[in-house]
Amino acid sequence: MAPTSCSLCRDAKAILKRPKTGQQICKNCFFFVFETEVHHTITESELFKPGDRVAIGASGGKDSTVLAYVMKTLNERYNYGLDLFLLSIDEGITGYRDDSLETVKRNQQQYDMPLKILSYDELYGWTMDAIVEQIGKKNNCTFCGVFRRQALDRGAASLKVDHIVTGHNADDIAETVLMNIMRGDIARLGRCTSICTQGEDTIKRSKPFKYAYEKEIVMYAYFKKLDYFSTECIYSPDAYRGHARTFLKDLEAARPSAIIDIIHSGEAFEVKEEIKAAQKAQQTCKRCGYMSSNDLCKACTLLEGLERGMASSVITDRARKNMDAMGPAPDNIRTIPLFRSTPTIAVELPSQS
């Protein structure tokens, strides 16, 4: 049987079937359509302006490695005029993050971008290894997620960047839409499909891979022979998300457009004004100055729980009240340095509260 020719250029031999569209295409056309779709996502949403300093949240995994490579390619091809940086967070997970950070350090050389690594240990005085030792493997991802969010903002502030881009792909966003529906979290459902988010005084965050399929990202990394780290975290990821992921993969197998269709459904939801109004107003954390909807930000609350040996319970508002009932935080607990007001990130003792 004669080899199939590429359905785009009609010239070269088709060597792959595009997961997103089912088209049989050649390698070069795949690279081009993948990159061009990301370019359109960026330009249609007007994500950047010339001169922006942009940090790429880099974990060494496939998504962020491909993102760094594609951002560099598009910045040069279309003259975006961006200053690109790699920003990595070291959660302190032995046998996982230490190895993946080695990959990021190689990417720094390969892509010729400045790299900043900020660790939980420097910022919070706790590694994820130590946190798991105290709280076990339940809720560890809650701590990790809250700590990473703030660490990324602080790392970005120290790089003086305007914008953080992350490698969240279409599968991640469709999963989040499903999870928010399954949890009945309508307020989050209204926000989770936004390509760009920005708090009161925080740095912009966006997802240029919002419409890029995970399978295509893997394919792109494979055919470009990119250097990435593919091991999963040793601490069990969120089980609920795992169910949403399996469900989504089943849907995708039956109909590949399911991923984009779910994102479009999420985008089309109109959240009632009363639900939006019920969201707490943003203020700044009284202890560390980071944005927060309560007196203390989530990271300060979780850190206080760890320091007082009550961490496994300090996640809900009620648990916070229970901790408050035990009396005020002792003066000698570690706290997070004041946001943006200090150039250093050393952990301060004693508490500022």
Angle of CA points 36, 156, 149, to nearest 5°: 90
- Taking residue 260's Cβ as centre, other Cβ atoms within 10 Å add up to 16
Residue 58 counted as an annotated binding residue: yes
Nearer to ligand SF4, 97 or 320 (CB): 97
Which own/partner contact pairs does 190-198 have at CB distance under 8 Å and 24+ positions apart? 190/269, 190/271, 190/275, 190/276, 192/266, 193/263, 193/266, 193/267, 195/41, 195/45, 195/47, 196/45, 196/47
Pick what 12 binds: Zn ion, ligand SF4, none; C-beta below 5 to 8 Å, kind-dependent: Zn ion
Spatial distance between the Cα atoms of 172 and 208, rounded to a whole number of angstroms: 13
Nearer to Zn ion, 26 or 58 (CB): 26
Residue 128 interacting with ligand SF4 (CB under 6 A): yes
Using CB under 6 A as the binding criterion, the count of chain residues that bind ligand SF4 stands at 9
Residue 133's identity, in one-letter code, is E
Spatial distance between the Cα atoms of 344 and 258, rounded to a whole number of angstroms: 46
Residue 145 counted as an annotated binding residue: no
Part in contact with ligand SF4 (CB under 6 A); list of ranges 32-40, 43-51, 79-87, 229-237: 229-237
Q: Please report how close the Cβ of residue 159 comes to Zn ion at its closest, in angstroms.
A: 21
What the block records as the tokens of 322 is 């229970």
Burial 190-199 (b: 16+ CB within 10 A, else e): bebbbbeeee
Residue 237 interacting with ligand SF4 (CB under 6 A): yes
Among 235, 251, 260, 265, binds ligand SF4 (CB under 6 A): 235
Residue 9 interacting with Zn ion (CB under 5 A): yes
Among 18, 26, 56, 154, binds Zn ion (CB under 5 A): 26
Q: Please report how close the Cβ of residue 143 comes to Zn ion at its closest, in angstroms.
A: 14
> Is the link from the previous residue into 350 a cis peptide, with omega within 30 of 0?
yes
Pick what 178 binds: ligand SF4, Zn ion, none; C-beta below 5 to 8 Å, kind-dependent: none
Residue 135 counted as an annotated binding residue: no
Residue 187 interacting with Zn ion (CB under 5 A): no
Among 14, 135, 173, 233, binds ligand SF4 (CB under 6 A): 233
Spatial distance between the Cα atoms of 134 and 198, rounded to a whole number of angstroms: 33
Q: Please report how close the Cβ of residue 82 comes to ligand SF4 at its closest, in angstroms.
A: 27
Site string for Zn ion, 281-300 (x = CB under 5 A): ----x-xx-x------x--x
SS3 content of the chain, % helix, strand, coil (to 5): 45, 10, 40
Part in contact with ligand SF4 (CB under 6 A); list of ranges 50-58, 74-82, 136-144, 255-263: 136-144
Spatial distance between the Cα atoms of 309 and 306, rounded to a whole number of angstroms: 5
Nearer to ligand SF4, 146 or 161 (CB): 146
Q: Closest Cα to residue 38, out of 188, 193, 220?
A: 220
Q: Is 326 exposed, middle or buried (0-12, 13-18, 19+ CB in 10 A)?
A: exposed
Residues within the interface to ligand SF4 (CB under 6 A): 91, 128, 140-141, 144-145, 233, 235, 237
Residue numbers in the known binding site for ATP are 57-59, 63, 89, 167, 172
